[in-house]
Amino acid sequence: MPIAAIAIANNLQIYEMLELNLPTFDKKITKKDDKPFILDIIRRQHVALTPEEWVRQHFVHFLIRHKGYPQSLMANEVQLKLNGMSRRCDTVVYDRSLTPRVIVEYKAPTVTITQKVFDQICRYNMVLQVDYLIVSNGLSHYCCQLDYSTRTYRFLHDIPEYAAIVDNTTDIQPPK
């Protein structure tokens, strides 16, 4: 897998992360206590640069810049109660009435997307009841649309634009 070398401004130290299957963006990386931190534009703070965070920041920028998702209607590390236990969704996207519409779950690029990952995001959805679930490890991305009236779901070929999600007019065809 190709490696993306990232350097901290005004510092000779270089950190290596896997190159992802997502568009690049202007990364704001700093160092604290000899560890790399990356700016999370949703939380408006620097967070530890882990492989999963590398994926999250790429994917969030992709949703905002390429799919029209409003930054102000996205939240990272959303806490919820599930069976009396605290859990955190990686990213939740809301509509303008602040109703959750999408849950996104991220994994490190070295983590294979399995049924276990989908089980995890489905458990979160028992609380939030969103219309779309997205899972990404930065290399593979999966999106499914839920239909509560028929108790079914369908995997989409692409990540929908924000307008299609809030209007519920997703015209993306499932993969053949």
Domain ranges of the chain: 3-66, 70-167
Residue where the block lists tokens 């109703």: 99
pLDDT at 76: 97
pLDDT in tens, 161-176: 999 998 866 554 444 4
SS3 21: coil
CB contact at 8 A, 47 and 53:
yes
| Assigned CATH class of 70-167 | alpha beta
For 76, phi then psi, to 5°, come to -105, 145
Q: Can you list the alpha helix ranges (DSSP code H) found in the chain?
A: 51-67, 115-128, 162-167
pLDDT at 7: 47
Its pTM stands at: 0.87
pLDDT in tens, 84-142: 888 899 999 999 999 999 999 999 999 999 999 999 999 899 899 999 999 999 999 99
3-state helix, strand, coil in the chain (%, to 5): 25, 40, 40
The one-letter code for the residue type at 6 is I
